[in-house]
Each structure stands twice: as structure tokens, then as C-alpha cells.
């Protein structure tokens, strides 16, 4: 597949998606949002891709936000439309069956931070900076940041980030649970891919069901969420993966899951 602003490759069933607009620090314009939507639709329907690593090109930025020069002249209805298209993309990524790991290689600001938040987990390079600077521009978060950030780090710290507009270091992001790991820049992609490899060495049905359980359970009250877990747990016992996984343990050998 050919894109103007994206690089895409697949190796060992792990897709790497690179946002490639380095002159504008990978800022998300409408064209880029639509390309990402198209690519994630393709990935969703491609069973040979088991995991995705999402990163930015260049040394400076993951994504420095939505494109301010493109947004500047939008009317209120146009801005709402832009937010809606972005939110649909973020939900598509969040609900993709495959795990998506953000490799945050530099600035992840505004829409860039929100894109990372839609991923299942975030690995940051040591010099990455994250933040929600929308209030410094006279706007608010528009790609899900006001909702996913408090769910991830709690309302109080989320409000601090959303209301001061200040950037934080990767180390601080790690302390508040916004990123899972902080690594040297040259180790970033390897770390993200090694986590992806570890995930997909397990039962694919199991990892996809785990993702779905966390996502769907978060929107439910605890009793309904626990019922969903029990139902999914039961369904796993009708899979070959459960039979192979448990037989392998008892035979003291490594499980060979089929659906790879
Ligand atoms: C458009 C951007 C951009 C952005 C950077 N650039 N961020 N263009 N939109 N979000 C462009 C600059 O204009 C510049 O272009 C080039 O990238 C390099 O950026 P510099 O500012 O020269 O680099 P530097 O001085 O190192 O500063 C880096 C930076 C700064 C701190 C990341 O660029 C910055 O503050 N960017 C904006 C961050 C931001 O406010 N993001 C939130 C946007 S609102 P030229 O042509 O001059 O070389 C948002 C809302 C999401 O994301 C929801 C929407 C619905």
C-alpha cells in the first residue's frame, strides 16, 4: 500500500506504521487522519498481522499534534467534524483486534498524545515529551484526550495536564502511568517490537479477548464486567488454544498455538 504521509511494513507478523511528515513534526492533518483510517482498516482485516507498532519518523517527534495551520481557519462545525473524524480513528485503533503499541520517539502533544492514548500501551524514548497544550491555543483536547487521559492517570493528574498545557518528560509520564517503559532512543523500536513478539507468542485468541475484556469492561459496572469475563473464560475452553496450552504445561513443553 502506498501513502503520502505514512510508512508501512510487516515483519514476522508485526506491522510497523510510521507517521512520516517530519517537516511538520508529523502533525496530523485531515489527509493523514484519512490515511491512518484506511491503513488501520486494512490491518484490522488482515489476519496475518498479529500486532502493530506505531511511531513517528525523524528524531524529534512522535506527533506534535493536530495540524495547527490547517485547523486555524476552521469554522465551529468544521472543527467539530475534524474532531469527530479523529475520534473515529482513535476508537478504531483502540478497538482494533490486534494489540497496538505506541513507540513515542519525541514530542507527543495534543492530538499526538491522544493518538498514543488510543494505543494499548506506550513506550517512550528517554527524551520524549508529552502533553496536552490545547488550552495554550484557546481550544480543548479533541481526539479523546479529555476522556482517555483521566481514565488512564486519574482525573486529578489529567486535569493538571489538560489545564496547565505543560509538557512533561518521559520519566514523569512513566511515574504517572502514562507510559509503560522509558528506554534509550536507539532501543525504542526494539523494545516495542519485543513486547509485541512476547504478546503474539501467546494464544492470539487469548490476547485479543484480553484486550476486548479490558476495553469493554471499563465501560460497564463491575458485576456486568465480571459476567463478561466469566463468559469469555468459558468460551476459551471451547478453543484449541486452551487444549494445547494446558496440555503443553502438563507435558512440560512449550505450547504450539495454531492460529498464528
Ligand atoms: C502544524 C506544526 C505543529 C503542529 C510543529 N509544527 N507542530 N505545524 N501543527 N501541531 C511545525 C512548525 O510550524 C515548524 O514548521 C516545524 O513543525 C518545526 O517546528 P518548530 O516549532 O520550529 O520546532 P521547535 O522550535 O523545536 O518546537 C517543537 C514544538 C513546537 C515544541 C513541538 O513545534 C510546538 O509547540 N508545536 C505545537 C504543539 C501543539 O500545540 N500541539 C497541539 C496542537 S492542537 P516550519 O514551517 O516553521 O518549519 C491539537 C488538537 C487535537 O493537537 C484535537 C483536534 C480535534
Q: Determine contact, residues 132/139, Cβ cutoff 8 Å.
A: no
Rg for the chain (alpha carbons), in Å? 19
pLDDT of residue 108: 99
pLDDT tens-digit map of 154-171: 999 999 999 999 999 999
- The residue whose CA has the least distance to atom 14 of ligand 1 is 24
In angstroms, the Cα distances linking 152 to 64, 77, 120, 149 are 21, 29, 11, 5
In angstroms, the Cα distances linking 212 to 147, 167, 190, 218, 245 are 18, 31, 26, 10, 20
Interface pTM, i.e. ipTM? 0.99
- Grid cell digits, residue 45: 482485516
- The residue whose CA has the least distance to atom 53 of ligand 1 is 142
What 3-state DSSP class applies to 181?
Answer: strand
Ligand 1 mean position, distance from CA 98 (Å): 30
Ligand 1 atom at minimum distance from 82 CA: 55
> Which of 64, 117, 143 to probe ligand 1 with, by most ligand atoms within 8 A of CB?
64
Q: Which residues have a Cβ under 8 Å from the Cβ of 63 and sit 6 or more positions away? A: 19, 25, 26, 27, 28, 56, 107, 108, 109, 111, 112, 115, 116
What is the C-alpha to C-alpha distance for residues 77 and 83, in angstroms, rounded to an integer?
A: 10
Model pTM? 0.98
Ligand 1 mean position, distance from CA 27 (Å): 7
**Across 42-66, average pLDDT:** 97
Query: Which residues are part of the catalytic machinery?
Result: 114, 134
Percent of the chain past pLDDT 70, that is, above it, reads 99
> Which of 24, 25, 115 to probe ligand 1 with, by most ligand atoms within 8 A of CB?
25
Neighbours of 249 (CB within 10 A): 11
pLDDT of residue 260: 56
- Grid cell digits, residue 11: 515483519
Ligand 1 atom at minimum distance from 79 CA: 55
pLDDT of residue 259: 64
Does ligand 1 lie within 6 Å of residue 176's CB atom?
Answer: no
pLDDT tens-digit map of 193-216: 999 999 999 999 999 999 999 999
- The residue whose CA has the least distance to atom 11 of ligand 1 is 24
Asked whether the predicted pLDDT for residue 45 surpasses 90, the reply is: yes
Amino acid at each position: 500500500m502506498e501513502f503520502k504521509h505514512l510508512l508501512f511494513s510487516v515483519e514476522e507478523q508485526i506491522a510497523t506504521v510510521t507517521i512520516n511528515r517530519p517537516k511538520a513534526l508529523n502533525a496530523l492533518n485531515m489527509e493523514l487522519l484519512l490515511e491512518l483510517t484506511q491503513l488501520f482498516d486494512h490491518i484490522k482485516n488482515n489476519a496475518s498481522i498479529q500486532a502493530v507498532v506505531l511511531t513517528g519518523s525523524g528524531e524529534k517527534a512522535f506527533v506534535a499534534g493536530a495540524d495547527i495551520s490547517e485547523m486555524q481557519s476552521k469554522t465551529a462545525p468544521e472543527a467539530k467534524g475534524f474532531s469527530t473524524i479523529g475520534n473515529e480513528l482513535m476508537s478504531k485503533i483502540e478497538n482494533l483486534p490486534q494489540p497496538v503499541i505506541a513507540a513515542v520517539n519525541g514530542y507527543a502533544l495534543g492530538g499526538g498524545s491522544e493518538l498514543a492514548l488510543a494505543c494499548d500501551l506506550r513506550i517512550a524514548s528517554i527524551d520524549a515529551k508529552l502533553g496536552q497544550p490545547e488550552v495554550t491555543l484557546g481550544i480543548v483536547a479533541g481526539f479523546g484526550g479529555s476522556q482517555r487521559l483521566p481514565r488512564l492517570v486519574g482525573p486529578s493528574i489529567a486535569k493538571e495536564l489538560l489545564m496547565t498545557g505543560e509538557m512533561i518528560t518521559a520519566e514523569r509520564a512513566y511515574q504517572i502511568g502514562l507510559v509503560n517503559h522509558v528506554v534509550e532512543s536507539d532501543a525504542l523500536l526494539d523494545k516495542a517490537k519485543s513486547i509485541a513478539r512476547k504478546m503474539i507468542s501467546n494464544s492470539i485468541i487469548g490476547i485479543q479477548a484480553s484486550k476486548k475484556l479490558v476495553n469493554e469492561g471499563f465501560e460497564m459496572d463491575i458485576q456486568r464486567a465480571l459476567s463478561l469475563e466469566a463468559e469469555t473464560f468459558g468460551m476459551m475452553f471451547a478453543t484449541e488454544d486452551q487444549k494445547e496450552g494446558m496440555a503443553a504445561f502438563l507435558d512440560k513443553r512449550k505450547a504450539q498455538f495454531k492460529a498464528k
